[in-house]
């Protein structure tokens, strides 16, 4: 027997503001008491991904190569920014993929679950699509001046 998902939007629930709810919100500020600590936590996430995720390191290296090459080839500031933004998008997707995989692993523990597989595969697919788009963008911006440079060397 299969369950059908309801297409109806559930009615909005109003959460009464009470002292317990206000207390939990006031305690949430203790986690990151200031902006500097928030940035430190964010940087810890980036460093975790860099230290533990091979693909994140590959994306960082390829992104640095693409940005460096765009500067060396004399691309315009807008073109360099576009390559930087697409590189940032790939790295962001890789961080989100790592976070989602960690949450899924925490949820299912060491057991196999088909929905966990779907979630992980879809997150990995999002990284793949963003990486392919970044390759397309960087290729279309880098290849013409790179080919022109190579042609001047061969003459």
Enter the tokens of residue 113.
Answer: 């679950």
Enter the tokens of residue 63.
Answer: 């992104």
Q: Does residue 94 carry a catalytic annotation?
A: yes
Q: Assign 5 to helix, strand or coil.
A: coil
**Which of the residues 4, 8, 79, 94 is marked catalytic?**
94
- Yes or no: say if 83 and 141 are a contact pair by the CB < 8 Å rule: yes
Burial class for 145, CB neighbours closer than 10 Å (0-12, 13-18, 19+): middle
How far apart (Å, rounded) are the C-alpha atoms in residues 69 and 65?
6
Question: Containing H/E element for 76?
Answer: none
Catalytic residues: 94
């Amino acid at each position: 027997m299969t369950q059908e998902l309801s297409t109806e939007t559930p009615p909005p629930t109003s959460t009464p503001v009470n002292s317990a709810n206000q207390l939990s919100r006031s305690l949430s500020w203790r986690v990151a008491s200031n902006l500097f600590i928030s940035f430190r936590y964010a940087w810890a996430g980036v460093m975790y991904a860099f230290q533990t995720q091979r693909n994140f390191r590959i994306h960082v290296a390829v992104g640095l190569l693409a940005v460096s090459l765009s500067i060396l080839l004399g691309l315009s500031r807008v073109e360099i920014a576009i390559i930087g933004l697409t590189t940032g998008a790939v790295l962001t997707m890789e961080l989100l993929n790592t976070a989602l995989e960690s949450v899924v692993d925490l949820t299912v523990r060491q057991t196999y679950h088909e929905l966990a597989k779907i979630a992980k595969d879809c997150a990995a697919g999002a990284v793949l699509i963003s990486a392919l788009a970044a390759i397309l963008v960087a290729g279309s911006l880098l290849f013409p001046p790179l080919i022109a440079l190579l042609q001047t060397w061969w003459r």
